[in-house]
Amino acid sequence: MHFEDETDEGEDDGVQHVEKQYRGIHLNFPLKRADLDTLIDAFRRKKQQKLHPRFVAAILREATAKLKRLPNLNLASTAISKQVTICGDLHGKLDDLLVIFHKNGLPSAENPYVFNGDFVDRGKKGLEVLLLLLACMLVFPGGVFLNRGNHEDNIMNSRYGFIKEVQSKYRNNSEKLLKLIEGVYRWLPLGTIVNNKVLIVHGGISDTTDLDLIKSLDRGKYTSLLRPPITDSNAPGAELIDKVEWKQVFDILWSDPQSWEGCIPNVLRGAGTYFGPDVTKKFLKKNKLMFIIRSHECKPDGYEIIHNNKVITIFSASNYYELGSNKGAYLKLVGPQLDTHFVQYTAATGKTKRLTFRQRVGLVESSAIRELRGHIISNREKLESEFRKMDLDQSGYINISDWCRIMESATQLGLPWRLLRDKLVTMELETGKVKYSTTFDKLNDSDISTVQESNTVVETLYRNKANLEAIFRIIDKDNSGYISLEEFSEACNLIREHIPNPLTQEQLLDMCKMMDMNKDGLVDLNEFLETFRMVDPEQKGKEARLLCEEFKDERDVVNTFAQICAFADQTPKTSPTAKSNFDIVFEKLKNIFFCLNCIINLHLHVLWHFASNCFDIINLTQFIKSKLKAEQCDFGMNNV
């Protein structure tokens, strides 16, 4: 195949002159690990040199030849690797793919991956993502399984940007390259089965999904699911068979789960179905499967578990709608029982690197509040009615506790409304009451469209973020990105002799469980930081006064909290007396605060307030590092 020159210097269109005109990287075929490393290094550069179309075409052709030899449903196993990693939609977000490889390692037979479709469209680096995944598949046999998604389709690409991306990057050769890409799409497997126990497909299932039929159909004739399949058969009934098969492919690539029972057409997407928990249960029983893993939908946390833990959605493109809109995640199936472990992340794009911490947090918060606006507006009539019922003297103000209760009762969102109050509503400083009409006033676009310059919630809470990150990396001795109970206990044991009244093993277990917010048995960086919320020193006195107004029945408890804060402020650092007195009071109050649930994470506020007064956090970091060096432990301190 003849390719024209893509450089800006000349008009020479001969491939034979590549060496003269081309200044980018060179690849050797068949691809080796060194070629993959070169490709990754080239793609991650800020000023990326365009890969010559000859090399692009060679990757596409070799990948197509290999894909043709694969079954319709990949068969993956953990017999050798003991685990397998599943990634969801990437949608042209190269940064997310590189983050995954950085955190979880490159693919190999010992570290296999399943990429569950939708590699391209929407993002700006769809071609790089596709080429990198295909190159990994070629370099690591048995280490990469690729599933087709609904965006591996040239009609979808024409609507959502990938065709324009290829045309802009290879304006002289785009038609030829797009033809080769179409061939890759046609031969991508339709799903993967792990250990004959777990089905991984991009969309989902329907009440007519037949795995035997899917295994036997000719997937190569589906150049696009949005137009009839290619067929040479004129035999009677061939058209009917094609339509049945066509629907099978449509359903597994386009369907979404629903919370109610039954199976109905997916009118929102115009293809596939909505399938309920009863459909899932019947399908799993028939095919002797444990659960289904699918992608196809963006989730705020990067994943979702529904249908009685039988359907898992995994979505790997972070910041999908906008900066801060969602986390990305990947899923690890571990051991013969295929235990699930989720890893979340947010890719640091070039834009976020240029933002300050305050600006990044402001963008995240504005995105979250925009999402929240729809829920509040949809319940406005109910909220206004409940607000007026509590406003007996028609003053326009109600207690913060009543406002929080009404907000939760009306929306059922399970949010920490007390922490969100400054972002959602105006309060009267003297009385601490809420002007409830402003619940809706603060939802205007002008209030949330710009980056906040005032102190943000997260900035206030994470005032020692850098030091906490350093400590996290020290405790995480295997650099896995999360802390196990064993690692946490080991780190505490190293400094036990220097801490007055050291904690018992049971207390350490409780503390680690407290940090483990998603209850997966491990503590990631976000959970670690979230645990060490800090009370803003300028707000402590006001908070105590407001609490006294809000919780008159618990006045003694709240006063005790205020006394603890004042006591810790006045006590010299590293004071054994402070630690001893605090332990007694804290243990006494902890269960009360849990039962009353009168303030979010109040026990953690108190704990960190005390810790920050009893230990100089910077000196503590240096101490731990020196202690670990003395113990000759390699905890990845070069990264600290």
Residues in the chain, overall count? 640
Which run of H or of E encompasses 145?
strand 144-146
Q: Which residue shows structure tokens 């039929």? A: 213
Give the DSSP per-residue string, 237-275.
THHHHHHHHHHHHHHHHH-EE-SSSSEEE-TTTTSSEEE
Q: How is the chain split among helix, strand and coil, in percent rounded to 5?
A: 50, 10, 40
Q: What is the SS3 assignment for 149-185?
A: CCCCCHHHHHHHCHHHHHHHHCCCCHHHHHHHHHHHH
Say how far residue 461 (Cα) sits from the centre of its chain. 22
> What span, in angstroms and rounded, lies between the C-alpha atoms of 482 and 523?
5
Closest alpha carbon to 191 in 130, 147, 143, 129: 147
d(CA 471, CA 618): 10
CA dihedral in degrees (608, 300, 436, 455; nearest 10)?
40
Q: Which of 546, 536, 559, 541 is nearest to 429 (CA)?
A: 546
> Closest Cα to residue 627, out of 639, 637, 617?
637
CA-nearest of 441, 522, 422 to 482 is 522
- Annotated active-site residue 151? The verdict is yes
- 3-class DSSP state of 9: coil
Distances (CA, A) of 153 to 65, 253, 389: 19, 11, 55
Q: How far is CA 208 from the centre of its chain?
A: 32
| Whole-angstrom distance, CA of residue 273 vs CA of residue 254 | 7
CA distance 475 to 484: 9
b vs e for 283-300, b when ≥16 Cβ sit within 10 Å of the residue's Cβ? bbeebebbbbbbbbebbe
- The residue from 91, 151, 202, 296 that is catalytic is 151
Rounded distance between C-alpha atoms, residue 112 and residue 86, angstroms: 9
Residues with catalytic function: 151
